[in-house]
Amino acid sequence: MALSETDLQQFKSQLIKQRIEVIKAVETGLQSEETVELDQARVGRLSRMDAMQAQAMSRETGRRLRKHLVEIDTALKRIMDGGYGDCFECGEPIKPGRLAANPATRLCIACAEELE
């Protein structure tokens, strides 16, 4: 079943909203990803290790956010190109409920389960 124009506009709106939120989160997290420079004379080893761990976690979060941004941009492009809502693997339509849960998804449930 093909998606209606109303559904496409709703998913597009959700994707644009998510895109704005992800961009804000990436910008906020960039400062946390910067190199940790602590004065060893003033700060103990454990504090430096904590700071380095926090930095590593921030970098991973940033990586995941940037990956999600690419997924959102790809979904928006598929809306413009007319291929939105079709599974990348099998070509079958993705159920609207799945798209509502994650408008950037590329796979139907069956193909997603096969990849796991």
3-class state of residue 23 by DSSP: helix
Q: How far apart are CA 35 and CA 75, in angstroms?
A: 33
The answer to whether residues 106 and 74 touch, using CB atoms and an 8 Å cutoff, is yes
Q: How far apart are CA 40 and CA 46, in angstroms?
A: 10
Residue 36, pLDDT above cutoff 70: no
Domain ranges of the chain: 5-30+64-115
5-30+64-115 folds as Four Helix Bundle (Hemerythrin (Met), subunit A) (1.20.120)
pLDDT at 44: 64
Q: How confident is the model at residue 35 (pLDDT cuts 50, 70, 90)?
A: low
Residue 42, pLDDT above cutoff 70: no
Q: Is the pTM of this model over 0.95?
A: no
Q: How confident is the model at residue 31 (pLDDT cuts 50, 70, 90)?
A: low
Cβ contacts of residue 84 below 8 Å, gap of 6+? 3, 8, 11, 75, 78
The number of residues making up the chain comes to: 116
DSSP per-residue letters across 86-97: B-TTT-PBPPHH
pLDDT at 45: 64
Q: How confident is the model at residue 55 (pLDDT cuts 50, 70, 90)?
A: confident
Residue 43, pLDDT above cutoff 60: no
Between residues 116 and 71, the one the model is more confident about? 71
Q: List pLDDT tens digits, range 79-114.
A: 999 999 999 999 999 999 999 999 999 999 999 999
